[in-house]
């Protein structure tokens, strides 16, 4: 291949990165500002059972994975949240459901 073709491919890849990185940052911020994510972290911070394993929660990992679907009075959400605790750092898979009263944690698993 010629140098010109390498340059074109390089510019295309750079352009895609310049689009993808801000998009990923936006999605992470949007997820962390969502009502189900806030309900999940509030539950994690107040759960005595989780506190036994991690101690006091000091923070969360930057990357969140999961999904949520929300309608007016119902919804479902599932997140994998990295929790940084005084005693230990863990990943928590947490599942929530929304009804007319708000978001409720259905179950979670520590890893």
pLDDT digits (tens, 9 = 90+) for 50-73: 999 999 999 999 888 999 999 888
Position 1 scores a pLDDT of 62
SS3 32: helix
104, two tokens: 């409720």
Q: What is the DSSP letter of 77?
A: E
Nearest of 106, 97, 92, 93 to residue 57 by alpha carbon: 92
Which domain covers residue 1, as residue numbers? Answer: 1-33
Question: What is the Cα–Cα distance from 2 to 110, expressed in whole angstroms?
Answer: 52
Same domain, 13 and 53: no
Same domain, 27 and 81: no
19 versus 29: the higher-pLDDT residue is 19
Same domain, 40 and 19: no
Residue 30: which pLDDT band, with cuts at 50, 70 and 90? confident
Domain count for the chain? 2
**Residue 56 backbone dihedrals phi, psi, to 5 degrees:** -65, 135
Dihedral sign from CA coordinates of 23, 43, 66, 69: negative
Q: pTM here?
A: 0.82
């Amino acid at each position: 291949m010629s140098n010109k073709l390498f340059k074109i491919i390089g510019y295309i890849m750079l352009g895609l990165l310049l689009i993808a990185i801000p998009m990923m940052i936006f999605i992470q911020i949007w997820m962390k500002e969502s009502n189900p994510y806030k309900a999940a972290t509030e539950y994690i911070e107040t759960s005595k059972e989780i506190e036994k394993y991690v101690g006091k929660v000091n923070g969360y990992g930057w990357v969140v994975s999961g999904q949520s679907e929300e309608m007016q009075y119902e919804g479902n959400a599932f997140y994998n949240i990295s929790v940084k605790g005084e005693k230990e750092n863990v990943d928590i898979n947490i599942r929530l459901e929304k009804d007319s009263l708000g978001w409720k944690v259905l179950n979670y698993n520590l890893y």
